[in-house]
Amino acid sequence: MTKLVYFAWVRERIGKTEEDLDLPPEVLTARDLLNHLKTLGEEYENALQYPEVIRVAIDQEHVEHFEKIAGAREIGIFPPMTGG
């Protein structure tokens, strides 16, 4: 099981703050994960409609979409940041 955490409008559109998911073995990279999540239902499709703008963090560190997610304890999925 991998813990996924969602923030801001990704969280609102999916309708969950976090969940534990069993990921299929063919999900290797952050990009694969976003594409997989999009197949889980309309709310995911809506949240991740433009995956290229979505940011991914593995164990609380930013990663690029081509990076592998193997061994991740927690994966954060969120829109571009607007703090400061």
Partner 1 sequence: MTMPTIRVQTDDFDLQSEIDLLTAGRMDIGAVVSFCGLCRDEQGALSALELEHYPGMAEAEMNRIALLAIDRFSLLGLTAIHRYGKIAPGANIVLVIAVASHRQAAFDGANFVMDFLKTSAPFWKKEHAADGSPRSWVDAKDADDTARDRWR
Q: By CB under 8 A, name the binding residues for partner 1.
A: 5, 7-9, 57, 60-62, 76, 78-84
The distance of closest approach from Cβ of residue 62 to partner 1 in the complex, given in angstroms and rounded to an integer, is 7
Note the helical H segments in 1-84. 8-14, 30-37, 42-47
Dmax (CA) of the chain: 38
Nearer to partner 1, 51 or 79 (CB): 79
The distance of closest approach from Cβ of residue 80 to partner 1 in the complex, given in angstroms and rounded to an integer, is 4
The distance of closest approach from Cβ of residue 78 to partner 1 in the complex, given in angstroms and rounded to an integer, is 6
Going through 1-84 in order, the beta strands assigned E by DSSP cover: 2-6, 18-21, 55-58, 61-63, 74-78
